[in-house]
Amino acid sequence: MSEIKTDILIVGAGISGISAAIAAAAENKSVLVIDKNEIPGGNSTLANVGTICGAFYRNLSGHIEPVGYQQNRAFVKEIAAASDSNVIHYHQGLYILPYKWEALKNLFLDKIESAGIDISFHTKLKAVNRTNDKIDSIDALCKEQELLIKADKYIDCTGNGALGQMAGNEMIKEEEYQLASQVFTVRNIQSDNEFSLNLALKLAAARLEDSCEIGLNFYVVPGSLQNQVAHFKYSLEETITDDDERNQALNVIAKNRIKEAFPMVKSEVESLKAAEISYISPQLGLRVLQRCKGDYVLNEQDIMQAKMRKDGIARGTWPIEEWLSKGKLNMQYFEDDTCYWIPAACLSNSKIKNLWFAGKNISASHKAIASARVMGTCIQTAYAAAKLACSENPDKTIEQLNDELNQ
């Protein structure tokens, strides 16, 4: 068994894990990131979510105002530049940034290298070794090599709180979660209008509904239609659970259904008659799963009342967005041009003193995580978790983070 020592260990190399690693490296800490996949990005690359949501305030005036820390805002600008994309209006005052997953992957790799961050892909978390109120080390498996990793501080940026759960942290769970979605790329589209294409897809699905036994919930990823190519999302009718084997089975089912259902739908849409599927993203897009319970649980009231907090370390601007059965979307909006604050206590549990949570793994209720799960919010909580993990005086750091967000 090989032994590795580092100041900060981050589990999960999604956009949250990378953001946390950059922030920790800026504090002159040695940083190691481990991830079970072969490339960085998690859902943002392997599931090709396609848009950065929650990085801008919602407003109805047409004014685009970014939210978050300076590092987060600069990161979003770099993503836009790398993808050669611009912020677009989604609907009802919401603004999003489309991106290209290959460009995002390369940007992650460049930032990892330039920040001097160590990263280990194909590495699975196997066990957590804990004494009293601290994690001592973790056991991991990199391909066939066993690793013992010792760190001073640990940050759980997994999408399902894997590190926290193995460490014995209490978890927030539901019997089932939101619908998953599968993204795939289509070429030879004879249309340059996303709205009309989405309308045509809905009408085609309605015509075929009675004669088709599988769901036909297709729509174009906003901002992706360019040069006769677009990314499509297909929403499964089954909800996700914490059963990893079941979710992996749904990953296969989704790809098979696309191959079966999309030809039927495209035959009903004139602009898709010559269209072809050119790529199916390897992973299913999982919106939320179980997460670590912290010293405070963000709730629906915090969001809908746009609560301000002196201990706030992130600003949430995205509405509560729930994808329910049969592709039904439920949106709950709080007042525009406002935000809610996520308190620092959502990123830690005092029972394990050297563990922090970030991204989709923050301590939040079912309704609250349906807002806080978006990437614009995730990169803020990741930045804050890293700063707190590197700090010797958390209370003072919380004040500094709050002040930084107010600048």
Identify whether residues 159 and 29 lie together within a single domain: yes
Residue 273 structure tokens? 């008659």
Does residue 326 carry a pLDDT above 70? no
Q: What is the mean pLDDT of residues 326-350?
A: 93
- Interatomic CA distance for residues 170 and 29, integer angstroms: 28
Identify whether residues 44 and 162 lie together within a single domain: yes
CATH number at residue 255: 3.30.70
Identify whether residues 34 and 88 lie together within a single domain: yes
Does residue 327 carry a pLDDT above 70? no
Tens digits of residue pLDDT in 341-389: 999 999 999 999 999 999 999 999 999 999 999 999 999 999 999 999 9
CA 201 and chain centroid, separation: 26
E strands within 173-247? Answer: 179-187, 218-220, 230-239
Tens digits of residue pLDDT in 249-276: 999 999 999 999 999 999 999 999 999 9
Identify whether residues 42 and 108 lie together within a single domain: yes
Q: Are 103 and 34 in contact (CB under 8 A)?
A: no
Identify whether residues 165 and 183 lie together within a single domain: no
Tens digits of residue pLDDT in 134-153: 999 999 999 999 999 999 99
Does residue 87 carry a pLDDT above 70? yes
Does residue 314 carry a pLDDT above 70? yes
Identify whether residues 139 and 33 lie together within a single domain: yes
Domain-terminating residue out of 280, 299, 328 = 280
pTM of the model as a whole: 0.96
Identify whether residues 315 and 350 lie together within a single domain: yes
Write down the residue that tokens 């009231």 correspond to: 301
Tens digits of residue pLDDT in 190-230: 999 999 999 999 999 999 988 888 889 999 999 999 999 99
CATH number at residue 382: 3.50.50.60
Residues 6+ apart with CB under 8 A from 393: none
> Which pLDDT does position 264 carry in this prediction?
94
Going by C-alpha positions, the residue among 398, 277, 407 that lies closest to residue 344 is 398
Write down the residue that tokens 């990437």 correspond to: 375
Identify whether residues 228 and 355 lie together within a single domain: no
Domain-terminating residue out of 280, 305, 332 = 280
* Helices and strands in the chain: count of H runs, count of E runs: 11, 21
What is the amino acid identity at position 363? Answer: S
Q: Are 152 and 4 in contact (CB under 8 A)?
A: no
Give the pairing type, strands 95-98 and 2-11.
unpaired
- For the chain, the average pLDDT equals 95
Query: What is the domain count for the chain?
Result: 2
Identify whether residues 241 and 214 lie together within a single domain: yes
Does residue 29 carry a pLDDT above 80? yes
Identify whether residues 50 and 107 lie together within a single domain: yes
Q: At what angle do helices 70-83 and 101-114 cross, to 10 degrees?
A: 130
Domain-terminating residue out of 226, 257, 280 = 280
> Domain residues for 7?
2-174+289-406
> Which pLDDT does position 328 carry in this prediction?
78
Identify whether residues 270 and 307 lie together within a single domain: no
Going by C-alpha positions, the residue among 20, 64, 123 that lies closest to residue 357 is 20
Q: What is the mean pLDDT of residues 66-90?
A: 96
What is the amino acid identity at position 407? Answer: Q
Identify whether residues 156 and 297 lie together within a single domain: yes
- What's the DSSP call for residue 286? -
Residue 25 structure tokens? 């490296």
